[in-house]
Every structure is written in C-alpha cells, then in structure tokens.
C-alpha cells in the first residue's frame, strides 16, 4: 500500500499559546498570515532543547513549516524558526504585559480555520510599535493597547460607530460630546436613549477615530483607562468572555 505524500505549507505565524502534551510534545495555538488560527502539535519539542530552538517563543515573528492534516484540524510542526525578533519588546516587562494581553484577546475572539489576515497584520503592527518604541510607563502601554483594541474590533466585525447614532443614523457633530454604548455598537443620541453608556468628549472621539482609521499612536495616556473599558466591554458583549 502506497502512502499519500504529506502536504506541507510554509507560513508566517505568531504563537498564542503552548500547552504540554504527553511526555514530550507540545500543543500550540498559532495565528498565521494565511491559514488563520491553527492548532499545531510539536512532536518531542520538550525532549530536546535543540529542536525548534528559538522558534517557539511568543511575541517574535515566526516562520513555520506545517504538515497539513488529512483529517481533523491538528497540524504537525515540521520546522519553526525566528523570523522577526523583537528583542527590545522582550526586554521590557511593561511592553510584554500589554503584548500578552493583546494576544489573549486574539486567542479568545478568533475561530480555528477562519481567514484572519487582517487580524494577523494588526497584531504584527502592534508588536512592531512596541518593539520600535517600548512604552516607558504602564499607562503609556495601556494607551497603545487601547489603540490596538479599537483596530482589532473592525476585522472581527464589531467596529464601533463613532460618527452617528447606531439607532437612528443621525450624525454626531464633530464638536459635540457623545455617549457610546458598547452593547449597541457605538454612539447613541439622547433622542434614542443615550446617557447610560460611556460619555466621550469631542477631542477623545476624534483621537479614537484616528486610531481606528490610521492605526496610529493617537491616544493620550489619559485616554487609556476610558478607551480600554470601552474595548473590553465590546469584547464582553460579543464573546461573553471577561477580558479585563
């Protein structure tokens, strides 16, 4: 009997989680640029420090070769190597903390096998920002995390409408304060019952819009707590998972 040849794919990846399995194996959760989120088994990865050396660490960009499963959805790791090292990020506890939080959001909101290229791009941009300019204080780090959260909501299909009332469609004037209700997906005007959500002033709303559109460092440290609360409430609304 002739065995069919195993098909392999070579992809860029971020490690989301690794769990010990059996005596020497690891089961990995990875976010890839072309396969979305995948489950991967790394045979004998714990038995030898040389095997996959340096290529099974979070935060860094990885290049992995995976054997495609003939049945089920568990890939087999053939090779993993460090592709984009982020050494400054790895040396900063503050940056590592918010990077880990961001990747946990991704792990909790993505689905195995779904196409997630925009989320992969958003993750790599966020990690690159932390690598290029590691935040000096926790509040600065939280501002970068809040920006990533706003960007992440869009490819998930949960983007917040920051320009008009989600109930009546009436535009919110640029100079007016507003109320945002994560449970309803954006702004809610007073005529439609707004007032029970998160109040945001015009300048904060503008900075939030800039973060969503340009994925830039628009938020101020003083914005971090309020915007993080909005992002986490939105994630909770859609997933039922408390991400705080």
All structural domains of the chain, each given as residue ranges with its CATH number in brackets, are 8-84 (2.40.50.140), 87-239 (1.20.1440.120)
Of the pLDDT bands very low, low, confident and very high (cuts 50, 70, 90), residue 22 is: confident
CA distances from 8 to 52, 64, 76 (A): 17, 10, 9
Average pLDDT over residues 7-34: 92
Q: Counting Cβ atoms within 10 Å, is residue 75 exposed (0-12), middle (13-18) or buried (19+)?
A: buried
- pLDDT of 71 > 60? The answer is yes
**Between 64 and 4, the higher pLDDT residue:** 64
Token pair recorded at residue 71:
């049945």
Residue with tokens 């990846």: 13
pLDDT at residue 113, rounded to an integer:
82
Q: Which helix (H) or strand (E) holds 196?
A: none
Rounded to the nearest 5 percent, the helix, strand and coil shares of the chain are 35, 25, 35
pLDDT at residue 116, rounded to an integer:
86
Q: Which helix (H) or strand (E) holds 11?
A: strand 8-21
Of the pLDDT bands very low, low, confident and very high (cuts 50, 70, 90), residue 1 is: very low
Of the pLDDT bands very low, low, confident and very high (cuts 50, 70, 90), residue 48 is: confident
**Beta-bridge partners for 186:** 161, 181
> pLDDT digit string (tens) for 137-147?
999 999 999 99
pLDDT at residue 155, rounded to an integer:
93
Of the pLDDT bands very low, low, confident and very high (cuts 50, 70, 90), residue 2 is: very low
Task: Provide the mean pLDDT of the chain.
Answer: 90
Give the Cα separation of 10 and 209 in Å (integer): 36
């Amino acid at each position: 009997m002739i065995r069919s040849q195993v098909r392999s794919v070579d992809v860029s990846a971020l490690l989301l989680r690794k769990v010990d399995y059996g005596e020497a194996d690891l089961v990995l959760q990875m976010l890839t640029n072309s396969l979305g989120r995948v489950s991967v088994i790394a045979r004998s990865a714990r038995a030898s420090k040389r095997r996959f050396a340096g290529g099974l660490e979070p935060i860094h960009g990885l290049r992995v070769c995976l054997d495609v499963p003939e049945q089920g959805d568990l890939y087999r790791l053939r090779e993993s190597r460090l592709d984009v090292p982020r050494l400054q990020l790895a040396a900063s506890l503050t940056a590592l903390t918010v990077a880990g939080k961001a990747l946990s959001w991704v792990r909790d909101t993505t689905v195995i096998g779904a196409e997630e290229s925009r989320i992969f791009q958003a993750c790599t941009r966020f990690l690159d920002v932390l690598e290029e300019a590691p935040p000096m204080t926790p509040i600065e780090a939280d501002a970068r995390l809040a920006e990533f959260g706003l960007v992440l909501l869009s490819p998930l299909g949960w983007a917040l409408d920051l320009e008009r009332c989600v109930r009546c469609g009436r535009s919110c004037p640029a100079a007016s304060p507003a109320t945002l209700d994560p449970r309803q997906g954006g702004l809610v005007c007073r005529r439609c019952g707004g007032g029970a959500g998160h109040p945001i002033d015009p300048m904060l709303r503008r900075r939030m819009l800039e973060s969503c559109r340009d994925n830039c460092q628009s938020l101020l440290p003083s914005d971090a707590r309020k915007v993080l609360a909005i992002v986490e409430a939105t994630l909770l609304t859609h997933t039922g998972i408390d991400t705080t």
